[in-house]
Amino acid sequence: MSSTGRADRPTELPGARVLGFDDPAWSFEGPGTATLPHPGELRLRAPRGADLFSMPGHYERAGIGSWHRTVPGDHTLWASVAVEGRAFGDAGGLVVHDGADWFKVCVERGRTGGWGIVTVVSRPVSDEAAGPALATARAELLITREGRRHAVLHREHPDQDWRFVRTFAGSGAAQVRVGLFAQAPFSDACTASFAPPGFAPAALSDRR
């Protein structure tokens, strides 16, 4: 993606701002815990079995701890996440609930011990996809919505261009619930740390 593309500058979207963790619109639902060591860091700890996935007859989990809020219409949300995990499936990232459907993008540990971007779309059966590999357990994640279309981008460092991961279609509902989350499907626990996310009430014009 070109460094001059609009997707590289979400901070320049109309109304772009930082959503501080002291904003009362945020709330937390377990399992797990949410702590604020200082105003610039949120730490979410997921207990064993915390996951969100639906493949009936094979694997189903319906419980992740998320720090979330409701947002209307077109928007862009981005946040940096660092994951402290030692087992396959340990992850942290962004989740969108669109009525009964949901979508998540995360920094996740793979079976061989490396880290990468993983996305899951559930309507209600989950469609999982492995994205780009990461050098470390840290990345910035971005989801932008325009009407029914949601697009996902990521980058590993703040001085890099945003890179396209995938798109998916939502319901087009007037509002969705967006959140930050951690999961630990097969380990004793996993912790994900977040900086206050950025938000703009507008979609990126260039999503590729």
CA-based radius of gyration for the chain: 16
At residue 2, the pLDDT reads 37
At residue 206, the pLDDT reads 78
**Sole residue written with tokens 């938000």:** 199
Domains of the chain, by residue range, sit at 6-200
Q: What is the pLDDT of residues 48-81, one digit of tens each?
A: 999 999 999 988 888 899 999 999 999 999 999 9
Question: Taking the model in full, what pTM does it have?
Answer: 0.94
Residues 6+ apart with CB under 8 A from 109: 83, 85, 86, 87, 88, 89, 90, 91, 115, 137
Question: Looking at the predicted structure, is the pLDDT value of residue 168 above 70?
Answer: yes
CB 2 within 8 A of CB 161: yes
Give the pLDDT band of residue 5 (cuts 50, 70, 90).
very low
| Token code pair at residue 107 | 């920094």
CATH domain 6-200 topology:
Jelly Rolls (2.60.120)
Whole-angstrom distance, CA of residue 188 vs CA of residue 95: 22
Summarize the confidence of residues 4-10 as an average pLDDT. 57
